[in-house]
Structure 1
Amino acid sequence: MPPKAAKQAPPLYEVSERVLCFHGPLLYEAKVLEIKNPGEPGASYSYKVHYKGWKSSWDEWVPQDRVLGWNDENLQKQKELREEHNPKKKVEKDKKPAHAEEPVVPTVRGQKRAREMDMDKEEDFIKRHEIKLNVPEIIKSLLVDDWENVTKNGTLVKLPRDITVTMFLNDYFESTETSYPSGSQQRQSYEEIIQGLRAYFDKCLGTMLLYRFERDQYNEIKKEYPDKNMCDLYGTEHLLRLFVTMPELIAHTNMDTQAVNALRDHLDNIMLFISRNHEKYILSEYEQLLKYSQ
């Protein structure tokens, strides 16, 4: 008798199941909408997920390794990632945070847990503001790789970067010359956006964009280059983190709808430029820097 064909193992998660899903470096509550069978024994399923509190336009198909079960261990992991990605929470209550675009969140009394409060705050941002970036899949993948390199592999971006944020933005600006020649209104708009991104990066890097494992390196590089801006020391790896934080930052500015839409379009174009040239601007391997080991 011919051998029996190997059976495909059942999916780890079911339709309508509550799960946690990576989107960039953070974990978000999600619900499984559909399951795609890979058709080959041993291969992983794919899941279409809906992020709680997010518009359905953010629904997406994700590989199995981006989905985690809803349990205490993974909820603790979600909390730890939020803390690592939001060092601003360490700011003393009686001090104004450096990133003034975001208000200080007041302490809420009652029985609501901190995790639920964080999720409610995130949902409020989505509901109140029509800000959505078209993040290419390759950019999402690069952000996850970046998170794993630092938090799981214990490696860091070697600084100063050969191609800094300033160099990258200059390259991008020059690439728009053929479409928007010097003197045009669109060209002037691009220049203003790029100047603003440099300012945002310098302001937000130390308070919002670093993981806990990078703080010693950040302090050392500031001492070593006291007269340089951060955009002249760090590279596009950290700039990507700023882009996915921008919707939250913009939500707390008084920019009008037209200005917000223009900024969103510019950010979409810049991310497309990175996705097409990521081998040049994004490190493929980080380095183990022993002097920053803890």
Structure 2
Amino acid sequence: MTSTNPYTYDKDQKVLCFHGPLIYEAKILDRRQETDEQNASYPIYHVHYQGWNKKWDEWLDGTRILVWNEENLALQKRIEQFYSTKKGLLKKNGSPSSLDPNANRKRTREELEKEKEESDFLNKPEIQLEIPEPLKCQLVDDWENITKNQQLVPLPREPTITQILAQYKQYKLEKKSGKTWNPDLIDEVSQGLCMYFNKALGTMLLYQFERQQYSDLRRKHHNKDMTDIYGVEHLLRLYVQLPTLIAHTAMDETTISVLTDHLGDILKYIHKMRKQLFVSEYQNASPSYVSIVNGN
């Protein structure tokens, strides 16, 4: 009786791996089996990123590893292009004193106060939300559909953001195993998420091509919150911005830790239910819509 090979990848195999938002070339150095909380075994892989110092070598489960093929190499380029268009996302932190020709002049009181504000901001507790790799790919598809293909998310969406968060709450309360969640805290986090979305949508979450659609919806549904119009596609964009938004609040480290836990769990639910939540096809914008956007 032959045993089934539990491994997807072999030692010394050349692969592609997610590290942060981008995909890099890597090599499998070793592999072994781990056991989860339910005593089920799963494989993990020790990988080395090509051209990187070995201090970056790490053990990963299979979710961050991709087969080396033309399709995934194309995905690597698409993701790199997506993030390179986002202002500042791929910029390295330079040394202001070495770049600023006025660095040695006497600073004004206003400049010193601004520096203090920036220092206080940088010293605030940091929120980190790990977006699963399939959802990172979803962000890239979303960007390409709108900015390159001139397509739109069909709106109003079904389910809406409000409905998704209600479904999430029901899912957590009905789940028998795992961590117990406080329903009042779920409501509080969901309400906060909706508040952030409604405030950020028009200023931070839209591509230029979508702004006319947003204006039309605001006029047509002026008595509705945008969380009752938009769906998971735009909620996922909010998740990219949340660390920055929350960093500007006065929350303490304990509150941010609890909030991060809940926001991360909602993201896991979105990942788990992604086939049911994300729209299957974007709609082509009408010629008249394109004409308005282009100012014709």
With structure 1 as the length reference, what TM-score do the two structures score?
0.61
Structure 1 outlier segments of 4+, above 6 Å: 124-127
Matching of residue 161 in structure 1 with residue 161 in structure 2: no
Matching of residue 82 in structure 1 with residue 84 in structure 2: no
Cα distance in structure 1, aligned partners of 2:185 and 2:167:
16
Q: Is the partner of 2:216 in helix, strand or coil?
A: helix
Flag the 1:133–1:205 CA change in 2: closer, same or farther, 3 A: same
Higher relative contact order (CA 8 A, sep 6+): 1
- Partner residue of 1:292 out of 274, 289, 292: 289
Alignment of 1:217-228 (within 5 A): 217-228=213-224
Flag the 1:125–1:79 CA change in 2: closer, same or farther, 3 A: farther
Cα distance in structure 2, aligned partners of 1:111 and 1:155:
45
> Is this contact kept in 1: 2:161–2:232, CA < 8 A?
yes
Amino acid at match of 1:65: A
Cα distance in structure 1, aligned partners of 2:124 and 2:51:
19
CA drift of 1:67 comes to 4.4
Amino acid at match of 2:263: L
Q: Which residue of 2 aligns with 1:90?
A: none
> Is this contact kept in 2: 1:131–1:247, CA < 8 A?
yes
> Is this contact kept in 1: 2:125–2:253, CA < 8 A?
no
Flag the 1:47–1:138 CA change in 2: closer, same or farther, 3 A: farther
Cα distance in structure 2, aligned partners of 1:127 and 1:61:
34
Q: Which residue of 1 aligns with 2:208?
A: 212
Matching of residue 193 in structure 1 with residue 189 in structure 2: yes
Cα distance in structure 1, aligned partners of 2:51 and 2:182:
36
Q: Is the partner of 2:257 in helix, strand or coil?
A: helix
> Is this contact kept in 2: 1:22–1:67, CA < 8 A?
no
- Partner residue of 1:137 out of 122, 133, 138: 133
Alignment of 1:110-189 (within 5 A): 110=100, 129-179=125-175, 186-189=182-185
- Partner residue of 1:65 out of 74, 77, 87: 74
Flag the 1:125–1:243 CA change in 2: closer, same or farther, 3 A: farther
> Is this contact kept in 2: 1:48–1:61, CA < 8 A?
no
Cα distance in structure 1, aligned partners of 2:129 and 2:225:
27
Q: How many residues align?
A: 214
Flag the 1:168–1:80 CA change in 2: closer, same or farther, 3 A: same
Cα distance in structure 1, aligned partners of 2:174 and 2:260:
21
> Is this contact kept in 1: 2:161–2:227, CA < 8 A?
yes
Cα distance in structure 2, aligned partners of 1:66 and 1:268:
25
Cα distance in structure 2, aligned partners of 1:176 and 1:157:
28
Matching of residue 35 in structure 1 with residue 18 in structure 2: no
Q: Deviations over 1:148-180 (max 9, x none)?
A: 111111110111112111111111111111359
Flag the 1:142–1:67 CA change in 2: closer, same or farther, 3 A: closer
Cα distance in structure 1, aligned partners of 2:174 and 2:181:
14
CA drift of 1:132 comes to 1.4
> Is this contact kept in 1: 2:173–2:181, CA < 8 A?
no
Flag the 1:257–1:56 CA change in 2: closer, same or farther, 3 A: farther
Q: Is the partner of 2:183 in helix, strand or coil?
A: helix
Identity of aligned residues (%): 37
CA drift of 1:82 comes to 3.0
Cα distance in structure 2, aligned partners of 1:261 and 1:285:
36
Bigger mean CA offset, 136-145 vs 231-240 = 136-145
CA drift of 1:250 comes to 1.1
Q: Deviations over 1:53-86 (max 9, x none)?
A: xx999x97674335459xxxx99x8665439x9x
Q: Of the two, which has the highest radius of gyration?
A: 2
Cα distance in structure 2, aligned partners of 1:160 and 1:64:
35
Cα distance in structure 2, aligned partners of 1:126 and 1:169:
31
Matching of residue 246 in structure 1 with residue 255 in structure 2: no
Cα distance in structure 1, aligned partners of 2:256 and 2:246:
8
Q: Is the partner of 2:154 in helix, strand or coil?
A: coil
Q: Is the partner of 2:26 in helix, strand or coil?
A: strand
> Is this contact kept in 2: 1:169–1:194, CA < 8 A?
yes
> Is this contact kept in 1: 2:172–2:181, CA < 8 A?
no
Matching of residue 272 in structure 1 with residue 281 in structure 2: no
Cα distance in structure 2, aligned partners of 1:22 and 1:185:
28
> Is this contact kept in 1: 2:26–2:50, CA < 8 A?
no
